[in-house]
A = this chain, B = another copy of it.
Amino acid sequence: MMVVDQSRDDASAASSKPPLDLYGLVEQLYPLNRSLTGDGVRQTLAIVARHLDLQIREVETGTAVLDWHVPKEWNIRGAHIATMDGRRLVDFADSNLHVMGYSKPVRGVFTRAELATHVHTLPDQPDLIPYRTGYYADDWGFCIPHHLWQSMTDETYRVEIDSDISPGSLTYGEFYLPGETTDEVLFSCHICHPSLANDNLSGIAVMTALALRQQARRRQLSYRFLFLPATIGAITWLARNERDLDRIKHGLVLTCVGDPGPFHYKQSRSGASIDRAAAHVLRHSGHRFEVLPFNPYGYDERQFCSPGFDLPVGCLMRGLHGTFPEYHTSADNLDFVRPEALEHSYAVVSAICSVLDGDRLYRRVDGRGEPQLGRRGLYRMIAGQREAGGATQMDLLWFLNLADGRHSLLDMADRANIPFSRIEAAARLALDASLVEDVT
C-alpha cells in the first residue's frame, strides 16, 4: 500500500510522485569521488544545485569549530598498483573505493610484505572492495577484493597515489525555505561517501526532491536542508549557526533510504514530536518498519543530539548501518538501490512533512453536545463509511469530540488510529461549517 499524501494544498495521491527522477540523480552522482572535502564534494553540490537554489559554503582549513578544526582539503587525481612490468592490477579509475580516503601521496616500489600493511580486503566477502578512510591517519591505503590480493604473489609492485592534502576548505550545501513562521524543520544528509549508492546518494536524492516539494507548497513552517560531510560538516554547521538553533522544532537525518528493506526510524534523544510524527506516518504507510530508541552511534543526529544542543532530530533509514552485507562495500552500488524504494522513501518523508506542517489545534465554537450535523449536510451513514472530502463520518465525530483546544490533529489521529490526512480532512469539513476555530 502506498502512503497517500492528502495534505492541505494537494490532496491527490499524485502528490506523492517525486518532482525529479530520484534514481537518475543517484546514477548521475555515483561516479564522483567524494570525501570530507575536495572537488568531488563541489561537483556533487553543483549537480544538486541544478535543481535547487543551493547556497554553497566554503569554510577554510584550520577554522576552529566547537572542539574540532576544519581539516585540510584532500584531492586525488589517480592511483594504481601495477606489476613491475607496468600492468595495472588496481586502478582508481575503475573504482574510487580502491583508495583509502585521505590517503597521502605515494610513489615507489614496495615489496608485497610492505604493501600488505596498506592493503584492506574483506576475507568474508572476497569479491567486494571495502570502503575505508583514514581522515586523520597520515597514512595511505588501497582497498581491493580479497581474491585479487590472494592472486598477487609477485615479490614487488609499483605503487602510485597522486593526491594532495593541503590547506583549502570544507564545502557544504544549504537550502532554506521560509514559511509563515520562523519555526523550522531541519533535514540533513551526508555527502562525503564516494561511490556508495545507498549510503548516501539515496539520502541526497530524496532530500533534493523533498526540498523541491516543499518549495512548491504553502508552508506553515520554514525548512532547512543541509548537505554535509559527516561529523565535521555537522559540527561546522552547528558552530556557525549556534545562535539560531532554537528555531529548530523538528529535524530528520536521511540516510540509506534507497534499498528495498523495511524502514528504520531512530528516535531523537529528547523524545521530540518528530518521533510521534514519524511513527504515525510509518504505522499508516503500509510498509514494514521498526522504531529504534536513540543511541549515540550513527549519523549526524549524534552531533545534533549532543547534550549541549539536544535538538529534536531523529534519523530515517531503511538498511541499518553496519547490518546489511552491502554496507561500506562496492556492493552498495546502483543495483542495490531501487527506484521504487527511493520513491517510497520520498512518500514517507513527504507525509512526515505534511504532518509536521499541518498539525494544528482547533476548538469547537460551542463544544456542548454534538452539533446537529444533519442540517449542515454533514450527516451520513456511519456504517457505510461514505467519504466526505476524504474523511468518514466517524473521523468527523472523532474530530468534533477532541476539538477542545488541547488535542492537536496528530493527537486526534493517533487516538482515533487513523491517518493524519483523514483527521485533517475532517477538520476542513468542520472549519467550513464554522463548527470549530483554529486556536493554534
Residues of chain A touching chain B, judged by Cβ–Cβ distance below 8 Å, are 66-68, 136, 231, 234-235, 238-239, 242, 269, 295-297, 302-303, 305-310, 322, 363-364, 366-372, 374-375, 382-383, 394, 397-398, 400-404, 416
Can you spell out 7 A-B residue pairs with CB atoms less than 8 angstroms apart?
A67-B372, A295-B398, A297-B382, A302-B397, A307-B401, A307-B402, A310-B404
Q: Which of B296, B382, B403 contacts A400 (CB 8 A)?
A: B296
Q: When chains A and B are docked, how far (Å) is the Cα of A309 from the Cα of B136?
A: 60
> Chain B residues near A401 (CB, 8 Å)?
269, 296, 302, 305-307
Main secondary structure, interface of A, reads: loop
Smallest CB gap from A402: residue in B: B307
User: When chains A and B are docked, how far (Å) is the Cα of A307 from the Cα of B437?
Assistant: 14
How far does the alpha carbon of A348 sit from the alpha carbon of B302 in the complex, in Å? Answer: 35
* Least Cβ–Cβ distance between A199 and chain B, in angstroms: 15
Residue of A238, A306, A404, A416 with most partner-chain B CB within 10 A: A306
Across the interface, name the chain B residue whose C-beta is closest to A382: B297
Residues of B within 8 A of A269 (CB): 401
Most buried by B among A235, A238, A307, A397: A307
Q: A68-B369, A235-B369, A296-B394 are in contact. List 17 more A-B contacts (CB 8 A).
A: A67-B369, A67-B371, A67-B372, A136-B375, A238-B368, A295-B398, A296-B400, A296-B402, A302-B370, A305-B401, A306-B370, A306-B400, A306-B401, A307-B363, A307-B400, A307-B402, A309-B369
Distance A402 CA – B66 CA, assembled complex (angstroms)? 18
Q: Assembly of this chain: how many copies?
A: 3
A369 and B238 contacting across the interface, CB-CB below 8 Å: yes
* 9 smallest beta-carbon distances between A and B, as pairs: A308-B367, A307-B404, A296-B401, A308-B368, A307-B367, A296-B397, A66-B369, A67-B371, A235-B369
- Bound Cα distance A374, B401 (Å): 56
Knowing A307-B403, A322-B383, A374-B136 are in contact, say whether A366-B398 is a contact too (CB < 8 A).
Answer: no
Query: Which residues does chain B contribute within 8 Å of A136, judged by CB atoms?
Result: 374-375
Q: Which residues of B contact A305 (CB under 8 A)?
A: 401
Min Cβ gap A391→B in Å is 13
- CA–CA, A363 and B306, complex, Å: 12
A415 to B, closest residue via Cβ: B293
Residues of chain B with a CB closer than 8 A to A397's CB = 296-297, 302
The minimal Cβ–Cβ distance linking A421 to chain B, given in whole angstroms, is 19
Asked if B402 and A372 make an inter-chain contact with CB atoms under 8 angstroms apart, the answer reads no
A372 to B136, CA, bound (A): 11
A136 vs B370: C-alpha distance when bound (angstroms): 16
Question: How many angstroms between the C-alpha atoms of A238 and B66 in the bound complex?
Answer: 55
Residue ID in chain B nearest A310 by CB atoms: B404
Report B-chain residues with C-beta under 8 Å of the C-beta of A363: 307
On whether the beta carbons of A309 and B68 are closer than 8 Å, the reply is: no
Residues A307 and B364 in contact, CB atoms below 8 Å apart: yes
Whole-angstrom distance from the CB of A215 to the nearest CB of chain B? 30
Q: Which of A235, A269, A296, A398 has the most CB of B within 10 A?
A: A296
Look across to chain B and name the residue whose beta carbon is closest to the beta carbon of A364: B307
